[in-house]
Chains A and B, each alone.
Chain A
Amino acid sequence: MMGPLLVSIYVFVLAAFLGFELITKVPPTLHTPLMSGANALSGITVLGALSLVTVADPSVGVVLGTLALVLATINVVGGFLVTDRMLSRFGGGGDR
């Protein structure tokens, strides 16, 4: 059996190959929306913040974690919303 760290390294390398292969040809109109959607996905760090602020009493660590949670949530919610807003204008003609 592999230790957890080794499993994580396997996962990291395979995810890198997957990310490289996933994006091949992208039409120029999609450059910004794709960047925006991928950016919202990098807000996945919200999960890390969620796992840290599980106690009631405030402390410096909890405040740092909550600040992370707020910023990551802005990244996720705003990110997907702004991507959808960009893409919704595609049908209506005109560039970007």
Chain B
Amino acid sequence: MTGDLIALAALASIALFVVGLKRLSKIRTARSGNLLIASGMLLAVVITLVEQGLVDYRWIAGGLAVGAVVGVLIVVRAKATQMPEIVARFNGFGGAASALVALALFWLEVVEAGADDPAAVVLGMASAITVSLSILIGVTTFTGSILAELKLRGTVKGQPRIPLRGILLTLLLAGGLAAGLGGLFALADPLTASALVAGLVAASLVAGVVLVLPIGGADMPVVISLLNSLSGLAAAATGFALENNLLIIAGTMVGAAGLILTQIMCRAMNRSLANVIVGGYGGDATGG
């Protein structure tokens, strides 16, 4: 019975997300839309805490308190012109968080549990695949977003050409994914498996830099919008790994809505997304 109530409350928070996003895309209702999404999020957090029942709250309380204080401080101390930079940083944190949840799941359930089987057996095949995807997308989003913030701020200037960038990016993403999947599917020894997962993390860290570095600072808003879409997908992948439908729904909605918004932003500049991603245009950021 309580289970049904919790499921209904989760549905209410999804409804708040949907209506909120819709309202956020119209000027007159935008502020209330943001408030609706925020209350949906608060409801979702309360639901999760209630669902877990009596657990040890020390880490939860500490993590929530530190995160809330730091989040507020970052916004309060930022100048009005720095808003897009702040969004980029938060987006990077969100991507990193999704990847870290996937890593923590792997570590807690496989390595620390002292499992004698590969992660794909312990977690299930679908979870093992989505853990890898979550790390890949989340970590790429993290370094990409932080670099985007630095470019917006002007700390990193120019758009250096990276030779064979497309091939390099493909190799990093495919190679990283192969390492991660290999570690999770084939290896029963947790130590070797986690070394391969570390390889996936390393490849993804570099991939984010390779993706964003050649793109000019003035194109960063489009890049951040694309990375925002990716961080949504990372959250959705984490949702698959944890079998949590709230994460899947909210993450996927951000992924899809973010992609549409990215296209709208490209069209407003008379550019195609491919044209922006190839890089070499746009010059440095001048508040654009």
Contacts and interface: CB of A to CB of B under 8 A. Distances in A.
B112 A15 contact: no
Nearest to B96: A71
A69 B71 CA distance: 12
B97 A87 contact: no
Nearest to A65: B104
Given A42-B235, A81-B72, A54 B55 contact: yes
Task: Tell me whether chain A's interface is mostly helix, strand or loop, or mixed.
Answer: helix
Interface string B29-69: 01101110110010011001100100110111011101110
B228 A39 contact: yes
Contacts of A67: 100
Given A54-B56, A59-B112, A72-B93, A41 B37 contact: yes
Given A23-B264, A55-B56, A88-B31, A38 B94 contact: no
B59 A62 contact: yes
- Which of A44, A72, A73, A81 has the most B CB atoms < 10 Å from its CB? A44
B87 A82 contact: yes
A31 B238 contact: no
A31 B260 contact: no
A93 interface: no
Contacts of A76: 41, 67, 71
Interface in A29-63: 29-56, 59-62
Contacts of A65: 59, 100-101, 104, 108
A48 B239 contact: yes
Main secondary structure, interface of B, reads helix
B249 interface: yes
A72 B97 contact: yes
A71 B104 contact: no
B252 interface: yes
Contact of A37 (B37, B71, B75, B268): B37
B70 interface: yes
Nearest to A79: B90
A89 B94 contact: no
12 contacts: A11-B248, A32-B83, A35-B224, A41-B232, A41-B250, A45-B251, A46-B45, A70-B66, A71-B93, A75-B97, A78-B72, A78-B86
Given A22-B21, A34-B261, 6 more contacts: A23-B25, A31-B261, A47-B246, A65-B104, A78-B86, A84-B31
Interface of B: 17-18, 20-22, 24-27, 30-31, 33-35, 37-38, 41, 44-45, 48-49, 52, 55-56, 58-60, 62-64, 66-68, 70-72, 74-75, 78, 80, 83-84, 86-87, 90-91, 93-94, 96-98, 100-101, 103-105, 107-108, 111-112, 126, 221, 224-225, 228, 231-232, 234-236, 238-240, 242-261, 264-265, 268
